[in-house]
Structure 1
Amino acid sequence: MKRHLVLLASLLLAVVSVSAIARAEDQSFKEGQDFITVKPVVKVPGVKQPYVIEYLWLGCPHCQAMNPIIEHYEHEHPKVKFVRRPAIGKDRWVFDAHVFYALQETGNGELIYKIMEFYHNLAGSERRLPDKEDLKPFLTQHHIDADKFYKAMDSDATLENLSAAYQDQEALGIKGVPTFLVGGQYIMTLASITQAKDPQARFEALMNYLVEKTQHN
């Protein structure tokens, strides 16, 4: 996947393999500084393995810039399941949440990184976000029936998922994305990642720490 980190260079200058400096970096963590605890625990039905709920927006440059870090972690830690939910906000975010769930409902949830890259590229080249017509080339490229996709955008299942995601978001007080909720119990502090010497190493260390923490609760 093509990497587009230039928009957040100031935040993610070290999104590279672990350096000697990063290995020497203090990887201890403090509640209130690196993560916060939420109650009650947010469950994911049917998921028994360690899991992370990620709240995102398809058009969010911060989310897009974090994707290589997350994808690397997923590859290295296949036993940790990432469950993604769209953040619900202004009208534009609602439209993109419909796109997100249509991708899921048509069995194409694995294309999450690719559709976010599509959003990123369009914003970079035309300084705008896609509408329904703009989505057609992406759907065609990935052999997705456009009519079925558009119907899925407004299906009952999509509306139910939107409602559930919004209720959890409101209960957790989520105001920005990306937000990572580990085991439904701990929200990672994004600044702990982006301000590190090596964000990728910091993300992995903090994620592993919180995943292990959930296993002992």
Structure 2
Amino acid sequence: MTLKHFLFRTFAIAAMGAAALFAPVSQAQSAGQQYATLNPAQPSDTPDKIEVLEFFAYSCPHCAAMQPLVEKWAKTLPANVVLRQVPVAFNASMADLQKLYYSLEALDRLDLNDAVFKAIHSDHQRIFEAKAITDWVVSKGVDRAKFTAVFNSFGITSKTQRANELTKTYNIEGTPSIAVGGQYVVSPSMTGSYQGTIDVAQERLNTLLKK
């Protein structure tokens, strides 16, 4: 089985869990294209910058595999482009991992981002619920009381709600998926590879930068 076929099957399974998230915005992928075009295009949440959104889930093995490529690509983006990672929850069991990402961001500890992927996919630690997540974060040197307060805060709840809105608005059916400038969506199921996804996203970005 090719990577493309494997990814397609994985995305199809994820899509079944995401069926309730469909939104009025449509994605159209023409024959031969390796990306979908959004109609209508979506505005940026970051003023005066082109947004690149990576929809991901810590529990997703494809996201873990593509993470180093995303990090490398992010370092090459010009000043008028911002890359934001958007944690996706296709069901309630994924919600605490969303909160984990935004809590690390709020505490300026996204240096632990890669460690989360490693813990889940290499070390096979079941850090999917609040208690296990908190114990793991504390083991990495983060103060328990501070993390718990942030994790359960209104601000983190608001960010997860916005992530859910974006997932719905962009019709994200599987992870990883990359949205470029509110106009295009690219994923490994479309391109057949992780690097191909980055390459096509960069091509779409180049068209927007030329405008």
TM-score, normalising length: structure 1: 0.72
Change (3 A) 1:134 1:205: same
Change (3 A) 1:206 1:142: same
Shift of 1:167: 1.5
Are 1:83 and 2:75 counterparts?
no
RMSD across aligned C-alpha pairs, in angstroms?
A: 2.8
User: Among residues 197, 206, 212, which one is paired with 2:200 in the alignment?
Assistant: 206
Distance (Å, rounded) in 2 between the aligned partners of 1:89 and 1:191: 18
Deviation string, structure 1 residues 138-166 (Cα, Å, up to 9, x no partner): 43454321221122112101111111111
Matches within 5 A, 1:108-123: 108-123=109-124
Partner of 2:167: 169
Deviates more, 1:206-215 or 1:68-77: 68-77
Distance (Å, rounded) in 2 between the aligned partners of 1:174 and 1:49: 22
Question: 8 Å contact 2:134–2:148 — kept in the other structure?
Answer: no
Matches within 5 A, 1:27-42: 31-32=29-30, 33-42=33-42
Question: 8 Å contact 1:185–1:214 — kept in the other structure?
Answer: no
Shift of 1:210: 0.6
Distance (Å, rounded) in 2 between the aligned partners of 1:81 and 1:204: 15
Question: 8 Å contact 1:35–1:187 — kept in the other structure?
Answer: yes
Shift of 1:133: 4.3
Q: Which runs of 5+ in 1 are unaligned?
A: 1-8, 13-29
Question: 8 Å contact 1:37–1:186 — kept in the other structure?
Answer: yes
Are 1:150 and 2:162 counterparts?
no
Distance (Å, rounded) in 1 between the aligned partners of 2:179 and 2:163: 13
Percent identical pairs in the alignment equals 19
Deviation string, structure 1 residues 83-141 (Cα, Å, up to 9, x no partner): 01111222221111111111112122343222222222332xx5x44444444564345
TM-score, normalising length: structure 2: 0.74
Change (3 A) 1:191 1:89: closer
Shift of 1:178: 0.9
> Could you tell me which amino acid in structure 1 is paired with residue 3 of structure 2?
L
- How many pairs were matched up? 185
Partner of 1:98: 99
Secondary structure at 1:82 match in 2: strand
Question: 8 Å contact 2:42–2:183 — kept in the other structure?
Answer: yes
- The runs of 4+ residues in structure 1 deviating greater than 6 Å are none
Question: 8 Å contact 1:59–1:129 — kept in the other structure?
Answer: no
Partner of 1:180: 178
Change (3 A) 1:44 1:116: farther
Change (3 A) 1:43 1:114: farther
